[in-house]
Amino acid sequence: MNEQAPRARATITDELINRQTAGQTILQTINLIPGVNFTNNDAYGSSGGNITMRGFDGNRVSLTFDGIPLNDTGNYAIYSNQMLDPELISRANVNMGATESDSPTASATGGTINYVTYVPSIDPGLLVQPSVGTDNYMRLFGRVDSGEIGPLGTRFYLAGSQQIYDQFMGPGEMKKWQINARAYQPIGSNGDFISLSMHYNENRNHFYRNFNLATFNSGNWLVNDATCDLRSAGSGFEPTAGTVQNENGRCSNYYNIRINPSNTGNIRGQSRFSLGESVTLTVDPSFQFVRANGGGTEAVFENDIRLRGASASAGVDLNGDGDVLDRVMLYSPSNTNTYRYGVLSSVIWDINANHRLRVGYTWDEGQHQQTGEYSRLDQYGNPDSVFGGRSGFGTGINTAEGLLFQKRNRNSVASLSQFNAEYRGDFLDDAPHGDRRRARPGIHPRAGSDVLFFQGQHVLHAILHHGDGNAFARVAGLRPLWRFDHRLRADLPG
């Protein structure tokens, strides 16, 4: 798409997105844009990957979905395997360097990526897209569009997909299923609307083994173990009363404990209201939910102080042999459960055809609960739930005091409160595109580190942040005029 923005920006549309591998993460598709580098962990996109933009890693790139932030509220990480089905993405915008003044970009030093979802069709329709491929890849996507319904022209869609395939190296598989829905209500004929969308995604992944270049070149690649004989009869580690069994180090590379389960979802509201001929209000509330962990095991002594606590007990029998002499391998995931609330809002005043003023407010709060509920492994090393002893999922372990045995239990909150204002004016529309020689003396507008003056457009923006994290990105070539504790900053090209 041809861009006219006063910054380094690129946009890809569904024309390109729909030609990519079915089910592929959108980050793989924008890998075609110069300055963006995404390394995918496999050919189909469900095992994760890493993105960099002009040398900045993913923790310093803001990723948004219909404007709502997707970076982890704790460490700003991007999880590429949790993206929306590509068949529902209408376009993706990539800003490299300077960000929009209203972007909720606490993590955006390197730039921003925003993908925009499909608006329900005016006409009813049905799309069914099956896919098959190597590594037993199978995927089915379906979408139903209602078309316009009733006198108000309400329309909606419901979509779902399921994907499964084997790891290309070693045992293990990738499973993913997702459902999406959106209701859209136009208001009048001037572009006003209200919309409500929902998204839910489940991933059940196995990790690949990591190894260095020398191991790769040798051809002796490391893969996960396909089986685990943890304590079955005849293994030499079967539970026996009165003797010591030490399971430390056993089955540590068994594929079914090297896992990365996640349940994620969100509800998104979007709206646009005209408050007169030249003033527009937008309000976009959202709620996000995450439950995830990275698997893992720990060999625990049955007389561990954490199991005994303040009781007089000698310990807790973890393997059922009637003594507390052993060191038993337990499933020990680090579960994270996040509830995230947000509101994006702005008022836009089109003063005339050449001048626009925009003010806005963003609120984003993530409430985290981080727990580590242990659970037992069966004799072949399999946990009864991917979320361990988490209540409602697996069977936990009680200490001698009757408390749930867990390695952590803490709560935290990450919040962002951001006011923003932007004035934008077109002063020299008669100047040739990109021609700085015809600019007025003393005015040398630019945005980003390598973008010239576009169509005589001069931009002044100020951002007020109050919250935690890296409040905004430094932009090479721009001169800060004001800065104080509440992070008020205006950048004037010069």
**Is 21 inside any structural domain?**
yes
Please check whether residues 106 and 140 belong to one and the same domain: no
Q: Which of 375, 399, 415 is the last residue of a domain?
A: 415
Tokens for 118, please give them: 């499909």
Low-confidence ranges of the chain (pLDDT < 70): 1-7, 97-107, 428-494
**Is 429 inside any structural domain?**
no
**Is 394 inside any structural domain?**
yes
Please check whether residues 156 and 58 belong to one and the same domain: no
**Is 330 inside any structural domain?**
yes
Q: Environment class of residue 472 by beta-carbon count within 10 Å: exposed (0-12), middle (13-18) or buried (19+)?
A: buried
pLDDT of residue 354: 87
Please check whether residues 162 and 216 belong to one and the same domain: yes
Q: Which of 370, 392, 415 is the last residue of a domain?
A: 415
Q: What are phi and psi of 308, to 5 degrees?
A: -80, -40
**Is 440 inside any structural domain?**
no
Please check whether residues 151 and 214 belong to one and the same domain: yes
Rounded to an integer, what distance in angstroms lies between the CA atom of residue 417 and that of residue 313? Answer: 50
Rounded to an integer, what distance in angstroms lies between the CA atom of residue 256 and that of residue 135? Answer: 18
Please check whether residues 139 and 16 belong to one and the same domain: no
pLDDT of residue 54: 85
Please check whether residues 75 and 193 belong to one and the same domain: no
Please check whether residues 91 and 153 belong to one and the same domain: no
Q: Which of 390, 415, 440 is the last residue of a domain?
A: 415
Please check whether residues 146 and 256 belong to one and the same domain: yes
Q: What is the DSSP string of 258-297?
A: SB--EEEEEEEEEEEEE-SSSEEEEEEEEEEEEEE----E
List b or e across 16-25, with b for residues whose CB sees 16 or more CB atoms inside 10 angstroms: ebeebbbbbb
From 346, 392, 397, select the one nearest 374 (Cα to Cα).
397
Please check whether residues 365 and 303 belong to one and the same domain: yes
Number of domains in the chain: 2
Please check whether residues 99 and 139 belong to one and the same domain: no
**Is 460 inside any structural domain?**
no
**Is 450 inside any structural domain?**
no
List b or e across 34-57, with b for residues whose CB sees 16 or more CB atoms inside 10 angstroms: eebebebbbbbbbbbbebbbbebe
The CATH number of whichever domain residue 26 belongs to comes to 2.170.130.10
Tokens for 19, please give them: 């030609």
Cβ proximity of 486 and 466 under 8 Å: yes
Q: What are phi and psi of 149, to 5 degrees?
A: -125, 135
Rounded to an integer, what distance in angstroms lies between the CA atom of residue 86 and that of residue 17? Answer: 7
Cβ proximity of 156 and 175 under 8 Å: no
Please check whether residues 72 and 161 belong to one and the same domain: no
pLDDT of residue 1: 58
Rounded to an integer, what distance in angstroms lies between the CA atom of residue 266 and that of residue 212? Answer: 38
Please check whether residues 91 and 194 belong to one and the same domain: no
Q: Which domain holds residue 267?
A: 135-415
pLDDT of residue 288: 96
pLDDT of residue 96: 82
**Is 465 inside any structural domain?**
no
pLDDT of residue 485: 28
Q: Are strands 173-187 and 192-205 parallel, antiparallel or unpaired?
A: antiparallel
How crowded is residue 1: how many other Cβ atoms within 10 Å of its Cβ? 12
